[in-house]
Homo-oligomer: A and B are copies of this chain.
């Protein structure tokens, strides 16, 4: 198990370029916030797909590490993402993850992504992480 504070320190140290805020973590779930700037936009004034994919992947990782602790080198095995609506260019992206399986070797979760302040998700992802045996 890892607390929100331990997770924050871990990501600042190990993924300084990740640049998101952990709003909550625990109970097989997580919520992240990404401040959107021009680097994340694509033509037409919308947040790029890869920015959303990266947030979905990160939300899964945070939810899993909150359960199994920071030791494990869990890695993404599969990510499936559906893009639902055009995100607003001037709003943060919020990612809400819920784990639907936490096994010994695999964890699976789904993630809804939102433009801050809008209840209609802009994307939905499901991901599988492999958990190494020697955790």
Which residues of chain A have a CB within 8 Å of any CB of chain B? 14-15, 17, 39, 42-44, 49-50, 53-54, 57, 73, 75-85, 100-101, 105-106, 108, 110, 112, 121, 124, 126, 128, 130, 133
Q: Which of B39, B57, B80, B108 contacts A84 (CB 8 A)?
A: B108
What is the bound-complex CA distance between A100 and B114, given in angstroms?
A: 12
Q: Do residues A15 and B44 form an inter-chain contact, with CB atoms below 8 A?
A: no
A44 cross-chain contacts in B, Cβ below 8 A: 73
Among candidates B39, B57, B75, B126, residue contacting A80 with C-beta atoms closer than 8 Å: B126
A84 to B99 CA separation, bound complex (whole angstroms): 11
Given A50-B50, A50-B53, is A128 in contact with B76 using a C-beta cutoff of 8 Å? no
- Listed from nearest, the 3 A-B pairs whose CB atoms lie closest are A50-B54, A80-B80, A53-B53
Contact call B110/A84, Cβ cutoff below 8 A: no
| Least Cβ–Cβ distance between A32 and chain B, in angstroms | 13
Residue of B with least CB distance to A41 = B17
Contacts A50-B57, A53-B53, A80-B80 known; list 7 others, CB within 8 Å: A49-B76, A50-B53, A53-B79, A77-B83, A77-B106, A78-B128, A82-B100
